[in-house]
Amino acid sequence: MGKAIGIDLGTTNSCAAIVENGKPRVITYKGGASTIPSVFAINEKGERLVGQDAKKQAQLNPTNTVAAAKRLIGRNFHSKTIEKIRQVFTYELVEGESSEVLVKVRDQVFTLEQISAAILRKIKEVAEEALGCEVDQAVITVPAYFNDRQRQAVRTAGKLASLKVLRVLNEPTAAALAYGLGRNLNQRIAVYDLGGGTFDISVIDIKGRIFEVVATGGDTFLGGVDFDDRVMQWVLETFLKSTGVDLSFDRVAVQRIRDAAEAAKIELSGAMRTRIHIPYIANGETGPLDIDVELTREKLEELTMDLVDRTIANVDRILREAGSSKAQIDEVLLVGGQSRMPLVQRKVTDFMGRPPSKGVHPDEAVGIGASIMAHSLAGASSTEEVTLLDVLPMPIGINKVDGSMHVLFPKNQPLPDYKTRTLTTSKDNQRSIMLRIYQGEATLCADNELLGTFVFSGIRPAPKGKVQIEVTFHIDSEGILNLTARDKGTGQTVESTLKLGKAGGVEVLSGSTVPTAAKKDETADEPAPPPMPLTMPTSGLASEFSAEAPVAPPAAEPPAIEPTALTPDEPSLEEVKPESIEPLPNASDAPTTPPENTGKTDVDPKSAQPKPETKAALVPEQGVWARFVAWLKGLIGGK
């Protein structure tokens, strides 16, 4: 069997780590670098490039270079954030059959899972070369504020990269592992994780080898790339004022400016001023034009002050949700490359009343923590097992008649957990029930993320109210939701299918291209629309309190049937046309305690949550956002 590693799959850079001889270390590659750029590209020769090779040619090939794909993974194409982010990214985004976001690179269309898999595969190859042995298992980290669909998409990416994903682990929790393991601590810490594309804040109790998350939150559209965008916008505006030339339509120029903005931002963490010089950026009336401007740290802080303030507002909110005062926080860990910014460190110090800890490396802590968890799950040593008690980052619920969300699992619910709801038919001989699953913090379902629609069909004919369907909602230690249903009267499993997006179907996307997007080429002979100016920074996309809401309405469905609820405040039941599906396992055959993938035990000692197995076990590929075939393989029982 191969080695198990930890992977920090980042928005801008990724890294991997391994535990050897009881000590974790970051895996390095060519030239001693510890990170790999999270970039994928296809050059003019048709060669696929990943990592540093892809980043090097980005300025000359921006439309065929995919960066920051992590921001798009698991998103709905019609969401407000995607509509705005399309104005920022230099590569082309297209819509899939199930309203997922696809990426078009040199006439080939890829899923975000495939792009992420290419990066993971590169990490795997680098690790195998450095270690001199096979790597076939990994713990992959994700932002704590990722929803079900995003988490399952990362699992799918790992599978496509030929990795057995031992666990999808929250990044702040991984950083806490790197900080606390082996130190026999008894502390409450706050992990402030400001990376390239996302921000997380988690309050975590550490007691020896037990790491218990008390509360978590964040913003999946707030990170280092937003700071880069602010500098890029300033350079574009400054150049326009001085020359009258608008470069926002020139994607090559924009990519060059973006790279220079990132470099200037990094330099200003140690200097008070820097020069942004980009020769021959455009042609003017008198000849070639250069960009040559000075950027000071003061100006950078002025441009990005509101972004840092958004993170502090999040910290304040999560402390309140944790029921914790600032004085009760023993240490504050800063994680993520953007946390190196002096303004960030100053704001955190002022808010918390103490300077942050220097106990972890901001770039390596997440990867190190993931490797510790991978080592524990792989069973390498029984003396090095760790216990993680995590929580749900956002509520999960189902729709009610009035359009509001009936919350099944509240935010910061200790994991794992499961609940059952008994639903009944609302009219005579009703054969199908449709149940939409949502995740988010808004009161109305329309303002939350639609994870998917479950259709329970093949219900036995009977007068209304005579058939009772028991639905079991099981959310595992990774925050991924699974459903089963049975007829309480007969004990038989009720057939179910998962529908995603407007098309109402789930198509398995395999290989390197996605033929389902061929419909986009039907108008290939029509004139191409003019390029869109790249003038909207991603930092204006979402606030820490906003929830993503789909723009396009769902496909037309039969009107909702007024339910006959067995318990108050039940969701709406809707009849839909039965589809060809395969059965889920009988709920009565499932173990009383849901299987978990936690290292040892994931039980909150202060709650009545069911106690999972203490042996590290692999969670099957299942969940609301899983690709249909992988999802069914993980759920199909012995019928």
Active site residues: 8, 70, 171, 193
Look up residue 198 and give its two tokens.
């996302």
Instruction: Yes or no: say if 501 and 550 are a contact pair by the CB < 8 Å rule.
Output: no
Residue whose token pair is 């090097």? 56
Q: What does the alpha-carbon distance between residue 51 and residue 195 come to, in Å, rounded to a whole number?
A: 18
Look up residue 494 and give its two tokens.
């009720």
Q: What does the alpha-carbon distance between residue 437 and residue 454 come to, in Å, rounded to a whole number?
A: 8
- Give the C-alpha distances (Å, rounded to integers) separating 549 from 74, 404, 439: 14, 14, 11
Helix (H) or strand (E) holding 17: strand 13-20
Q: Long-range contact list for 489-495, CB < 8 A, 24+ apart?
A: 490/460, 491/586, 491/588, 492/586, 493/583, 493/584, 493/585, 493/586, 493/587, 493/637, 493/639, 494/456, 494/457, 494/458, 494/459, 494/469, 494/584, 495/456, 495/457, 495/458, 495/581, 495/582, 495/583, 495/584
Q: What does the alpha-carbon distance between residue 431 and residue 467 come to, in Å, rounded to a whole number?
A: 10
Instruction: Yes or no: say if 481 and 58 are a contact pair by the CB < 8 Å rule.
Output: no
Pairing outcome for strands 331-335 and 186-194: parallel
- Give the C-alpha distances (Å, rounded to integers) separating 185 from 25, 177, 202: 21, 11, 17
Q: What does the alpha-carbon distance between residue 140 and residue 367 come to, in Å, rounded to a whole number?
A: 9
Which candidate, 73, 75, 57, places its Cα nearest to that of 65?
57
DSSP string across 361-427: -TTTHHHHHHHHHHHHHTTS-GGG--EEE-B-SS-EEEE-TTSBEEEEE-TT-BSSEEEEEEEE-SS
- Give the C-alpha distances (Å, rounded to integers) separating 623 from 298, 330, 495: 47, 36, 16
**CA neighbours within 13 Å on the CB side: how many for 50?**
17
Which candidate, 21, 3, 32, places its Cα nearest to that of 128?
3
Q: What does the alpha-carbon distance between residue 269 and residue 265 come to, in Å, rounded to a whole number?
A: 7
For residue 281, report the phi and psi dihedrals to the nearest 5 degrees.
Answer: -85, -25
Which candidate, 299, 3, 260, 270, places its Cα nearest to that of 131?
3
DSSP 614: S
**CA neighbours within 13 Å on the CB side: how many for 572?**
18
Q: What does the alpha-carbon distance between residue 447 and residue 460 come to, in Å, rounded to a whole number?
A: 35
Look up residue 73 and give its two tokens.
């993974």
Is cis: bond before 288, omega within 30 of 0?
no
SS3 351: helix
Q: What does the alpha-carbon distance between residue 509 and residue 501 come to, in Å, rounded to a whole number?
A: 15
